[in-house]
Each structure stands twice: as structure tokens, then as C-alpha cells.
Amino acid sequence: MRISLVPILVFLMPLAEIAGFVIVGKMVGVWATLGLVILSALLGAALLRIQGIGILQRISAESRNGGDPGREMVHGAMIVVAAFLLMLPGFISDIIGLLLFIPAIRELAWKVLRKRIVVLGSSRAFRRGAGQGPNSGPGPQTRPRGPGNVVDLDETDFHREPNRNSPWSDKKRLEE
């Protein structure tokens, strides 16, 4: 039986944050501690705004060039989590949030998560890849890019007539 650490962390994190408040409050005082909490929340909001716009531009550029925007999307998600952690009151969450704003830490997390994340897209930018010529057109992809059984059907490829005898049909059965 595998034990998940998430419930344990959810339970222990507030206790650790309270201990952090007590330790910092004893060192610098109550007003300085409150000032640090407010300053970290403002810093998180500002960093989210500054870093978030840059991440959105990099995702857009990567998609436009026909590349895989998965890396940039994960970096963007980590920046949102980092800003959220900075906005939460507490010093431990602030330290974790500040670490996630460091590009080297995000890159390390991307290397760990890369094999578990799949980015699927339906825009033309995703279909332009190496091996497809300029005359391939905007139609559906002819070769699968990865493992799996994916069947992409248009409305013209699959059509089903409604069954009037079905109990889920909108038409009432008049036979009875």
C-alpha cells in the first residue's frame, strides 16, 4: 500500500508556518513580521505580472514556430504556483515560492516532470513538424507523432442517425 505524502503535507504545513511566524516574530518583532508578510504578498503579485507576461509571449512564440510549448507551459504553471505561494501568509511557503521563480530550479523540475506531461494541440502550429513539407496543407496530421491509438474524425467521417426507440431519445414512443 502506497502512502501519499500530500495529506501529511497539508496537515503539517500550517503548523510549520505558525512555528515560522513565532520564530521570526521573536527575532524581529510583531510589526516587522506583519510587514514581511504583506511585502511578500505584494512581491508575489508583482512577480506574477512581470514573469507571467514573458511566459505567455514565449509560449506563443514556441507555438507559432511549430515547436512543443510543453516546457514553457510547465514553467508558466510553476510561476503561477510560485506567485500563489508568495501571496499566502507564511515564511516557508515564501521560501518555496522564491525558489520556484529561479529558472534553474524550474528547469530541474521540468527535467523531472518531462516524461509525465503530454501536450496535445489542435492548432495548425502543432501539426507543422519536422518531416511535413510546406505542401502538407492544413488538413489532419497523416502520421502519428507518438505512441497510442488516436483516431481523429471530422463530422463528415462519422455520422449517426438517432434511434427513436431509445429511452434517451427526445421523441416519445407512441407505440404503447
- For 159, the grid coordinates are 455520422
Instruction: Report the distance separating Cα 78 and Cα 85, nearest Å.
Output: 10
106-122 as b/e: b if 16+ CB within 10 A: beebbeeeeeeeeeeee
Give the per-residue pLDDT at 2. Answer: 66
Q: What residues does each domain of the chain span?
A: 12-119
- Contact in structure between 66 and 136 (CB atoms under 8 Å): no
Query: Residue 93: which of 3, 5, 20, 2 has the closest Cα?
Result: 20
Instruction: Report the distance separating Cα 172 and Cα 176, nearest Å.
Output: 10
Kindly give the parts of the chain with pLDDT less than 70. 1-2, 119-148, 159, 162, 169-176
Span 147-170, pLDDT tens digits: 567 777 777 777 677 677 777 766
In the numeric block, the cell 527575532 is attached to 27
Query: Residue 88: which of 10, 28, 4 has the closest Cα?
Result: 10
